[in-house]
Amino acid sequence: MARCQATGVVSPEPSLVDLDAVIGAWLQAEPDWALRRAVEWGEPALRRAIALYYGHATWTSKPDLSGGREIGDAWSALLFRLAMANPGVYLDEIDARRIRLRTGPPISEVVILGYLDDPRAVPLLVRCTRHRDWLVRFHAVRGLARRDDDASVAAIDHAATRDCSLPVRVEAVAGIARRDPARARILYTGLLDHPHQTPLLSEQVRRALNSTAQA
């Protein structure tokens, strides 16, 4: 039997053919029934989706995946929904497969890790705050900013003052503002004179300053 961790719903164990058919239907923009069915199947659907996505398994009947960015977005949405419903299974799979967190994680992976309510996600996100790609660091910081454990707080503090990317620093200060608005105002004020400041970021910082002043 297949169980969804989040809902506790138990359904008959699907075959690989069933799983591939539902995953393929979702990727080819079929109605939401395919996503609902995958979520109902829970753990088997998540394990199969991860195996197919990372090329660790072969489709029983491969669908047309020539949709370009739309296919990528559909994969991201599927993995996100399944991971939110089965966080422990997702982290087990990430750990067992050593999936690219060192060499170059997809942004979707970092986003998912940031939303998982599981302490095992923290060291993975902290590692991503040291990645060479600023966008990976940005989403890792955003995920850690939702947490209050010592490792997350330390990583956010470091990013707020030491990261070489201004957007990453702004995001980190936003995380600090949740816990310490007064300190966040000091950091935001310092960022207004940052040499990489842009009109858009400047406006974002000024809005944040106004928000923290009212906190």
Is 87 found in the same domain as 59?
A: yes
pLDDT in tens, 141-150: 999 999 999 9
pTM over 0.95: no
Is 109 found in the same domain as 83?
A: no
- The residue-averaged pLDDT of 172-185 equals 94
pLDDT at 11 over 70: no
Angstrom CA distances, 150 to 37, 126, 145, stand at: 38, 11, 11
Is 212 found in the same domain as 110?
A: yes
Is 91 found in the same domain as 18?
A: yes
Is 174 found in the same domain as 199?
A: yes
Q: What's the number of domains the chain is made of?
A: 2
pLDDT in tens, 31-61: 789 999 999 999 999 999 999 998 889 999 9
Angstrom CA distances, 51 to 19, 67, 94, 103, 121, stand at: 12, 20, 11, 19, 20
- Among 177, 169, 172, CA closest to 208: 177
Six-digit token pair at 35? 């996503």
Instruction: Identify the residue whose tokens are 């923009």.
Output: 29
Range of the domain at 9: 1-99
3 forms bridges with which residues in the sheet?
Answer: 10
Q: What's phi and psi for 10, nearest 5 deg?
A: -110, 130
Is 86 found in the same domain as 46?
A: yes
Question: Of 46, 81, 99, at which residue does a domain stop?
Answer: 99
